[in-house]
Chains A and B, each alone.
Chain A
Amino acid sequence: MTERMEQVTIPAGQLRRWRTPQEVAALAQRARRREVLTQTMIYALLTLISLPIVVPYLWLVAAAFSERVSYGIIPSGFTLNNWRFLWVANLGFVSGTAGRLPNIWQVVANSLVLAVGTAAIVVVVSTLAGYFISRHGFSRRAGFLKGALALQAFPGITLLVALFILLRSLNLLNSMLGVILVIAALHLPFALFVMKGFFDGIPWDIEMSALIDGASRLRAWYTVLLPQARNGIAAVAMFSFLWGWTDYIYVLTFVLRRSSWTMALYLNSVIGEYRFADYGLMAAVGVFYMIPSLLFFLFTQRQLLQITLGGTKA
């Protein structure tokens, strides 16, 4: 080190000379080593931070396929018995107070209706409204956007009682449609901002060009603009599907019939209503419940990364 330092020392009054090939090679290697070290440290740190998140999931998957879990963490003995809820119509050992668990496939169907219904409404409304807000200047547009943001900022749970009364007067209590409308409405502002961002990113020129080429405004919207906003539509569809799929509180509050239960309620009853918690069953139901979410994130990371609320894409 000191030797090299001496070598590159410049006598006063002389022009600085470039380093020799050996010196350059040594410097480059030092830079490479430093880079590898930095990378290793970053990965180590990230792994450490992720552990508290990853470990419970690992436990969940392990427990779902194990006979027992020793000391609360170490699973042992492979079994599919925990998954019996999928093929046993009525789980025999349900405690008397809770009654029988509904058929899992009925529950899945209910959840799908809720999730797909929410996604359909959110996608259609946010795509149309996002386009309109992006393209048309109307008076109080800024006010409208602020209002939408404020709505998103309020915890929906504070509206539970009001929504209950509203749904009852609309005769939508105990119906999946009521829950769909509530979830869709509460999440629309977010979806609207996402779609507005996507439409903002599509140049005016392309739309004008379509009009001059002979398209009507509506035709230009769906043949030229929608295909370019498809990542946004995909992202909004996935998010709204998951909002419906994972919802607990609104179904619990507005749907009183056991036959209309969704996955979240089913899981809750598995956790809460046994005298002795069956961790294996609980884990299996939990893993089963996570499948759609996992699939979505696996296949759609690219679209999700394109989401923007400002204007420039990430």
Chain B
Amino acid sequence: MGRIVLDKLGKRFGVVEALRDLNLEIADAELIALLGPSGCGKTTTLLMLAGIYKPTSGQILFDGVAVNDLPPQDRHIGMVFQSYALYPHMTVFDNIAFPLRLLRRPVDEIQRRVLEAAALVQIEALMDRRPSQLSGGQQQRTALARALVKQPTLLLLDEPLSNLDAKLRVLMRAEIKHLQRRLGITTILVTHDQVEAMTMADRIAVLRDGLLQQVGTPDDLYYRPANTFVAGFIGSPPMNFIPAQVETTDGQVAFAAEGMRLPAAEWTAPHLAGHRGGPVLVGVRPEDIRLSLVPGESAVQGRILDVEPLGRELVVAVTVGRQVVVAIADHGFAGKPDQPIGMSVPPERIYVFDPTTESAIV
């Protein structure tokens, strides 16, 4: 069993508050990602879970029992570090066997379990090598085997993929996810890479400056971001934010900004009632923008600033007045810089945020 509860967890380093009042429940066998930019408190949280740091406030509960004062060696945790932290003077076998030797398991059991763990990550052929003789991917697998060998109740992954090249990263992403599901180990993944979090995690907790912004499934975060930070952090290229006014003409609500007027979806009208005539921040995802090279056909007219081909799709930057809006076009897109272009956005794909609180209105 591995049900984790973080109850008003906080950590201070001197005057710096690294984490404030984090409440989070993690179900057994769940893979949850802590996502945020560097310095947001995600690694601090992980090291508190591991027992390396002691919380300054709040509680960490493993299956309902507070473990704040439990030293790391008694927490039954496996952890993969960003640097892998393999012991350079030990062979792959000895690295993986290390946790079992500390538990004083019999020699034949150690032998068997180390080979089992190695088989899980397919490094059986490398057992006599030293970490310096391994590639990045092999080191990563060794670190994973070492973390899994004692069958931990909680697996902590600290940016486990960030030192791998792009191709290997995609492969290991799938492998770790598959392994986690198969073994059913509660897993906490720390990452600053939203793609990693979105693709691997059952749920994602977004942190910023030590404060939890939102917890939810990848879909929740993508389709229902709680604030501009989450909205801007999830998705690539990031969401466009356009300062606008809420206007009502003939009962029709629309968002007006310099050079553009975007009609709001009908069902949003009641939510926008309090903001009528006032400023809001309109959020539009690049992938929701439809581009048209036929002038006059679309709601918003702009001019192409730049086109970045990415193979399957193109990223198109468009200037509308003084605003630059980023959109994604299909690979057949033929627009060139300086060409006039029309843009439209389906009303139901428009996000609206309060410019002062930054929270979502719709």
Contact = CB atoms under 8 A, between A and B. Distances in A.
**Interface SS of A by simple majority:** helix
Given A205-B83, A208-B50, A208-B81, A213 B88 contact: no
Given A214-B103, A215-B102, A208 B52 contact: yes
Given A214-B73, A214-B150, A215-B73, A209 B102 contact: no
A214 B76 CA distance: 8
Interface string A210-230: 111111100100001001100
Contact of A228 (B75, B89, B156): B89
B89 A203 contact: no
Interface in A154-212: 203, 205-206, 208-212
Contact of B50 (A206, A212, A215, A219): A212
Nearest to A226: B89
A206 B85 contact: yes
Interface in B308-326: none
Contacts of B156: 212
Contacts of B98: 210, 213, 215
A50 B91 CA distance: 44
Contacts of A214: 73, 99, 102-103, 150
Contacts of B50: 208, 212
Nearest to B83: A205
- Chain A: number of interface residues, binned into ranges: 10 to 19
A210 B83 CA distance: 14
Given A213-B146, A214-B150, A205 B103 contact: no
Contacts of A224: 87
A204 to B, nearest CB: 9
Question: For A208, A210, A213, A227, which residue has the most chain B Cβ atoms within 10 angstroms?
Answer: A213
A209 B103 contact: no
B235 interface: no
Contacts of B103: 214
Given A208-B52, A211-B52, A214-B99, A203 B73 contact: no
Contacts of A219: 102
A219 B99 CA distance: 12
B51 A212 contact: yes
B264 interface: no
Contacts of B85: 203, 205-206, 208-209
B340 interface: no
Interface string B79-107: 10111011111000000001100110000
B81 A209 contact: yes
Contacts of B89: 227-228
Nearest to A227: B89
B79 A212 contact: yes
Question: For B47, B77, B98, which residue has the most chain A Cβ atoms within 10 angstroms?
Answer: B98
A213 B51 CA distance: 12
A228 B88 contact: yes
A203 B84 CA distance: 11
B72 interface: yes
B72 A212 contact: yes
A206 B131 CA distance: 13
B78 interface: yes
B90 to A, nearest CB: 8
B242 to A, nearest CB: 43
Question: For B50, B72, B79, B83, which residue has the most chain A Cβ atoms within 10 angstroms?
Answer: B72
B73 A216 contact: yes
A9 to B, nearest CB: 42
Nearest to A214: B102
A213 B85 CA distance: 11
Interface of A: 203, 205-206, 208-216, 219, 224, 227-228
| Closest 3 A/B residue pairs (Cβ) | A205-B85, A209-B85, A214-B102
13 contacts: A205-B82, A206-B87, A208-B72, A209-B81, A211-B51, A211-B52, A212-B52, A212-B72, A213-B73, A213-B98, A213-B102, A214-B99, A214-B103
Given A211-B51, A216-B71, 4 more contacts: A205-B81, A206-B87, A212-B51, A213-B98
